């Protein structure tokens, strides 16, 4: 009888009752074909591969991460809560040492959901990885977390949530944002003033194959992970880099995904995108599961696989090597700046517009962060949308120093109530979420 080298837990949640539309790429069949493949291949007969059932996350779990406008129930369904709950379940199984590694094969996805949520964007309402991570931090006292997002689309929501967090390393490897939604994720995006170098973006040209991905993994991602020394590694395991994916332009195969997983060695993987429902997902997921379990994946192959048709050109390889060198150059420069808080200013600000493509909604944000040598800094977000909802969101990070806690409470208590529909405080030091009622 086969035995897994690494005990591996799986959670499946196809979300039968949630769909954007019956023919939308993000639909339940994304997981149904994979479930069938896993059962047909007899993976649950292998000693050390175990299935877990998801429970929904709570409102408090969501509020550790998000400011939902006007509330959690207005921007989520039960399926969103169970999807995040699947990630939470598998994360708990890993940290409880029931298994060595875990893979949450769930939908709806989450990596485009930002800290403030007015609706759905990029098929995402809440950030399921972030909800899982902040629950695990609260329940198990883990500190340093690395997130490696291998979805073809830039994980702009996860980047936004952890932009100011010096204890979270976020790395996104994706198709160049000049050629694909959401149009972001460039090498110059390196994190906020208190977490510079804790965000790394690796935008790759269209037609990149696994050769290019694995080069970047070996020469950029793994050395940075080794330097960061995370307590846990999370893989946002999007599968839309596959050569048959209908909405992207990359040339990854099931073998490539398995090899990436084998080398990255994530503690937890969480499914994100991937829309080649029959031609890719069953084989990609099978390869990932076998690689996580430490089993042979060499026989996993798509029916239409032709290595010559997806071979990476020499010019693409040269471009990828150049991008990798540039990312490392930027990262090393941020390390030389470590401990510097810039021009002596007390606060840093940025203003931006955010488009919710799924709900066709525009948000305007003005963000202020306290520059701090001791923590991620108190954060203030003035957010308004086309619907007329304007909120003030104040975030006090888990590791906030006394000065940043004082600043956060001052912002929360002194804001003019009549100017906002809601004034909200997310106090991670006390694990609380409150809304001013005056």
Q: Which helix (H) or strand (E) holds 71?
A: none
With a cut of 90, say whether residue 227 has pLDDT above it.
yes
Q: Are residues 296 and 407 in the same domain?
A: no
Q: Are residues 292 and 358 in the same domain?
A: no
Q: Are residues 143 and 288 in the same domain?
A: yes
- Specify whether 219 is catalytic: no
Of the listed ranges 2-16, 120-134, 136-150, the one predicted with least confidence: 2-16
With a cut of 90, say whether residue 177 has pLDDT above it.
yes
pLDDT bucket at 266, cuts 50 / 70 / 90: very high
Q: For the segment 98-123, what is each residue's pLDDT rounded down to a tens digit?
A: 999 999 999 899 999 999 999 999 98
Q: Which two tokens stand for residue 203?
A: 């935008």
- Domain count along the chain: 2
Q: Which of 302, 335, 368 is the last residue of a domain?
A: 335
What is the DSSP annotation of 367-379?
Answer: EEEE--SSSS--E
Average pLDDT, the chain: 94
Q: Which of 112, 154, 174, 242 is catalytic?
A: 112
Q: Assign 93 to helix, strand or coil.
A: helix
Q: Assign 65 to helix, strand or coil.
A: coil
Q: Are residues 47 and 158 in the same domain?
A: yes
Q: Residue 345 has what pLDDT?
A: 83
Place of tokens 């909800």: 131
Is 163 within 8 Å of 307 (Cβ atoms)? no
Q: Which two tokens stand for residue 319?
A: 């471009």
Is 172 within 8 Å of 201 (Cβ atoms)? yes
Cβ-in-10-Å burial (0-12, 13-18, 19+) of 23 comes to exposed
Taking alpha carbons only, the member of 238, 255, 253 closest to residue 106 is: 238
Q: Are residues 356 and 311 in the same domain?
A: no
Q: How many other C-beta atoms can be found within 10 angstroms of the C-beta atom of residue 16?
A: 10
Size (the chain), residues: 438
pLDDT bucket at 31, cuts 50 / 70 / 90: confident
Residue 213 CA to residue 242 CA, distance in Å, equals: 12
With a cut of 70, say whether residue 27 has pLDDT above it.
no
In the chain, % of residues over pLDDT 70: 95
Q: Residue 86 has what pLDDT?
A: 97
Q: Are residues 290 and 351 in the same domain?
A: no
Q: Are residues 298 and 411 in the same domain?
A: no
Q: Which of 301, 335, 369 is the last residue of a domain?
A: 335
Q: Are residues 303 and 413 in the same domain?
A: no
Q: Are residues 357 and 316 in the same domain?
A: no
**Range of 151's domain?**
3-335
What is the DSSP annotation of 163-210?
Answer: TT-TTEEEEEEEE-TTSSTT----TT----TTSTTSEEEEEE-TT-BH
Q: Which two tokens stand for residue 78?
A: 């039960």
Q: For the segment 295-312, what is each residue's pLDDT rounded down to a tens digit?
A: 999 999 999 899 999 999
Q: What residues contact 69, with CB distance under 8 A and at least 6 apart?
A: 75, 116, 117, 118, 383, 385, 389, 391, 421, 422
Taking alpha carbons only, the member of 127, 201, 137 closest to residue 170 is: 201
With a cut of 50, say whether residue 16 has pLDDT above it.
no
Query: How many CA atoms within 13 Å lie on the side-chain side of 107?
Result: 23
Residue 66 CA to residue 125 CA, distance in Å, equals: 10
Q: For the segment 406-428, what is each residue's pLDDT rounded down to a tens digit?
A: 999 999 999 998 999 999 999 99
Q: Do the domain assignments include residue 340? A: no
**Which CATH number does the domain housing residue 312 bear?**
3.40.800.20
Place of tokens 């006007």: 70
């Amino acid at each position: 009888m086969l035995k897994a080298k690494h005990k591996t837990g799986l959670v499946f949640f196809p979300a039968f009752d949630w769909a954007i539309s019956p023919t939308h790429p993000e639909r339940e069949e994304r997981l149904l074909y994979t479930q069938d493949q896993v059962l047909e291949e007899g993976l649950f007969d292998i000693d050390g591969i175990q299935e877990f059932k998801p429970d929904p996350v709570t409102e408090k779990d969501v509020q550790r991460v998000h400011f939902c406008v006007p509330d959690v129930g207005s921007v989520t369904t039960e399926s969103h809560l169970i999807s995040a709950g699947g990630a939470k379940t598998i994360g708990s199984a890993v940290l409880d040492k029931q298994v060595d590694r875990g893979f949450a094969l769930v939908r709806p996805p989450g990596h485009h959901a930002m800290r403030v949520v007015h609706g759905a964007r990029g098929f995402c309402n809440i950030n399921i990885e972030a909800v899982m991570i902040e629950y695990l931090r609260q329940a198990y006292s883990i500190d340093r977390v690395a997130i490696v997002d291998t979805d073809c689309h830039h994980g702009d929501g996860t980047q936004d949530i952890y932009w100011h967090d010096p204890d979270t390393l976020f790395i996104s490897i994706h198709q160049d944002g000049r050629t694909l939604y959401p149009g972001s994720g460039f090498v110059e995006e390196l994190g906020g003033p208190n977490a510079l170098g804790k965000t790394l973006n690796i935008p790759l040209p269209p037609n990149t194959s696994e050769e290019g991905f694995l080069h970047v993994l070996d020469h950029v991602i793994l050395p940075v992970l080794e330097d960061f020394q995370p307590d846990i590694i999370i893989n946002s395991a999007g599968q839309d880099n596959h050569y048959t994916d209908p909405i992207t332009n990359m040339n990854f195969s099931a073998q490539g995904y398995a090899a990436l997983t084998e080398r990255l060695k994530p503690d937890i993987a969480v499914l994100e995108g991937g829309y080649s429902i029959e031609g890719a997902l069953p084989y990609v997921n099978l390869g990932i599961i076998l690689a996580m379990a430490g089993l042979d994946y060499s026989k996993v192959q798509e029916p239409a696989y032709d290595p010559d048709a997806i071979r990476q050109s020499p010019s693409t390889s040269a471009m990828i090597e150049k991008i990798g060198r540039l990312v490392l150059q930027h990262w090393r420069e941020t390390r030389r700046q470590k401990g510097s808080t810039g021009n002596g200013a007390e606060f840093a600000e940025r203003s931006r517009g955010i488009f919710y493509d799924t709900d066709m909604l525009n948000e305007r944000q003005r963000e202020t962060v306290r520059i701090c040598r001791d923590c991620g800094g108190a954060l203030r977000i003035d957010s308004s949308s086309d619907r007329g909802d304007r909120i003030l969101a104040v975030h006090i990070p888990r590791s906030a120093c006394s000065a940043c806690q004082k600043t956060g409470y001052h912002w929360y208590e002194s804001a003019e109530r009549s100017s906002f529909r809601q004034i909200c405080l997310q106090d991670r030091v006390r694990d609380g979420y409150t809304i001013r009622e005056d």
